[in-house]
Structure 1
Amino acid sequence: MSHALVLLGHADPKSFNAALAQAYTDAFRAAGGTATLVTLSDLRFDPVLRHGHGDGQALEPDLLALRRAFESAHHVAWFFPTYWASPPAVVRGVVDRLFLPNWAFRYGSGPLPEGLMRGRSARMVTTMDSPALWYAFSHNRAIHGAFVSGTLRFVGFGPIRTRTIYGVRTLSQASRERWVRSMAELARVDCAKAPAQLLPAAAAL
């Protein structure tokens, strides 16, 4: 049975992102998997990486619990709005504090790291006010490069699937509801294609 960790990067429980994340979570369970939904803004932790990747900053209890949730997940889905062509601060804070060397990745003798989240699939669903062409040509699909490739793929997630909802500012209520309903199909696909077992090296971290 595949287990999904669903991470919500919007603080408002009545937000469009919250509705998308909840619909996805419910549908993943209906598809035969299990799913845990975590609202990142509810976690109590210092989002600032005080010493870079050096020692000296212990993980708070909420981050330790989230780390265990990552370790037990076959699939991780991220839901958040795009702010300034990047994820919200709470998402970046979780990544900065949690995706540390020798847990999320490690360097060996070569120039490129080994991603220690390997064996886990991922999904990113992000919303933005920008139209698709503006985002592509003016911002060079910045969030897909930095978060999908530079973060998730860097630490070993794969395959990584994405869904971007553009022009949210002008979406009608009916369109928003259609998008929420469409999360069921994404969840069914992700549940069916999630890894059946975690790789031992990753699961044993």
Structure 2
Amino acid sequence: MNKRILVILGHPLEDSLCGALAQAYSKGAEVSGHEVRTLSLGKLVFDPILRDGYAKIQELEPDLLAAQEAMSWAQHIVFVYPIWWGSIPALLKGFFDRIFLPGFAFKFREGSLMVDGLLAGRSAHLLVAMDTPPWYYRWIYRMPGHNQMKRTILEFCGIKPVAVTSFGPVKDSRPKVREQWLSRAFTYGSNA
């Protein structure tokens, strides 16, 4: 069954390994007949800082309104980004801070601390590049960035299941290894 897939590049540069992974996934999905939209966060015009926290919701810039519309449209969302300092880039975090708002991504239940995820019915795949060997990130660091994305952001907002694929270590990786990673991303897209 064909899906509506949104691919979000969370690296500020399209000319990066993450950009190439996002392109490979998109091509694989398109070849298999899926409808694909892409967002490159580095090209969007928005303030990634919540100026008043959640005390007062900032008006969303046009690019963020379009991003919300694309998320509402999507059945499957792919996030492609690097791990920097153990977690997601500030640009991606600011993107979530600004658009995953109460009333769009979640709502608190009346008189309760429990929430309803308003983005339920969608699945996600995280394609994550890192310089740390993935096994080390998993067993020694306990995957703080993966847990943040999967559990405290996406699943909190109802997006399930969330698959995670780590590519690394990127530093000093050989072209042949990078080509294998791009081939895997293409395959993930074609099998979405």
With the shorter chain as reference, the TM-score category is: over 0.9
Equivalent residues of 2:6, 2:36 under 8 A apart: yes
Structure 2: segments with no counterpart, 5+ residues: none
Q: Are 1:43 and 2:82 counterparts?
A: no
With normalisation by structure 1, the TM-score equals 0.89
Greater Cα shift, 75-84 or 9-18: 9-18
* Deviation digits for residues 22-59 of structure 1 (CA, Å, limit 9, x no counterpart): 01001111111110111101001110011222334100
Q: Take 2:132 and 2:173, find their aligned partners in 1: how far apart are those partners?
A: 12
Q: Take 1:78 and 1:13, find their aligned partners in 2: how far apart are those partners?
A: 13
Equivalent residues of 1:53, 1:101 under 8 A apart: no
* Deviation digits for residues 149-169 of structure 1 (CA, Å, limit 9, x no counterpart): 111111010111110112111
* Cross-structure match for 2:84: 83
Greater Cα shift, 11-20 or 132-141: 132-141
Q: Take 2:121 and 2:7, find their aligned partners in 1: how far apart are those partners?
A: 17
Amino acid at match of 2:163: R
Q: Take 1:52 and 1:88, find their aligned partners in 2: how far apart are those partners?
A: 19
Structure 1: segments with no counterpart, 5+ residues: 191-205
With normalisation by structure 2, the TM-score equals 0.94
Over aligned residues, Cα RMSD in angstroms? Answer: 1.2
Q: Take 2:187 and 2:69, find their aligned partners in 1: how far apart are those partners?
A: 28
Q: Take 2:49 and 2:16, find their aligned partners in 1: how far apart are those partners?
A: 26
Amino acid at match of 1:39: S
* Deviation digits for residues 114-147 of structure 1 (CA, Å, limit 9, x no counterpart): 1000001111110100113321233211112111
Amino acid at match of 1:37: T
SS in 1 for 2:6: strand
* Cross-structure match for 2:5: 4
Equivalent residues of 1:124, 1:161 under 8 A apart: yes
SS in 2 for 1:65: helix
Identity %: 34
* Cross-structure match for 1:99: 100
Equivalent residues of 2:137, 2:143 under 8 A apart: yes
* Cross-structure match for 1:180: 182
Q: Take 2:13 and 2:57, find their aligned partners in 1: how far apart are those partners?
A: 33
Greater Cα shift, 66-75 or 130-139: 130-139
In the alignment of these two chains, the number of paired residues is 190
Equivalent residues of 1:9, 1:90 under 8 A apart: yes
Q: Are 1:113 and 2:115 counterparts?
A: yes
Equivalent residues of 2:5, 2:76 under 8 A apart: yes
SS in 1 for 2:49: coil
Q: What are the within-5 Å matches in structure 2 for residues 152-163 of structure 1?
A: 152-163=154-165
SS in 1 for 2:51: coil
* Cross-structure match for 1:22: 23
Equivalent residues of 2:12, 2:91 under 8 A apart: no
